[in-house]
Amino acid sequence: MYRMITSDSLAYVIDFRDGANCSRIASARPGEEIQVLVYPEHEPLADSLGVKGMRSQDGALFIVETTTADGKQQSFEWEYPLLKLVSQLLQPLP
């Protein structure tokens, strides 16, 4: 589980249980926007939510954006090479 931290409301984690989610993250190109599945950190059995994920133009970062129930936007960032490695390692075998 790769933790996303927020200071004033829910924290979400990327859903690495979904093979297609792992594959999308691992193959994201610089500047590409993709759908990323996340779930609330304290509810691991909750249904996944589809949110916007984007690899930075220089390819170094991966940013996930969520919107809270009250309409506030939140964003979380990771170093892309590490996130890609985790996605590849947790991707189910064919």
- In a domain, residue 2? The reply is no
- In a domain, residue 3? The reply is no
pLDDT at 33 (0 to 100): 96
- In a domain, residue 5? The reply is no
Average pLDDT in the 19-37 region?
94
Tell me how many domains the chain contains: 1
Contacts of the segment 43-49: beta carbons below 8 A, 24+ positions apart: 48/15, 48/18, 48/21, 49/12
- In a domain, residue 21? The reply is yes
Its pTM stands at 0.80
- In a domain, residue 56? The reply is yes
Range of 61's domain? 12-90
Per-residue pLDDT band for 94 (boundaries 50, 70, 90) equals low
- In a domain, residue 6? The reply is no
- In a domain, residue 65? The reply is yes
Per-residue pLDDT band for 90 (boundaries 50, 70, 90) equals confident
Encode pLDDT of 47-73 as tens digits. Answer: 998 999 999 999 999 999 988 777 788
59 within 8 A of 80, measured Cβ to Cβ: yes
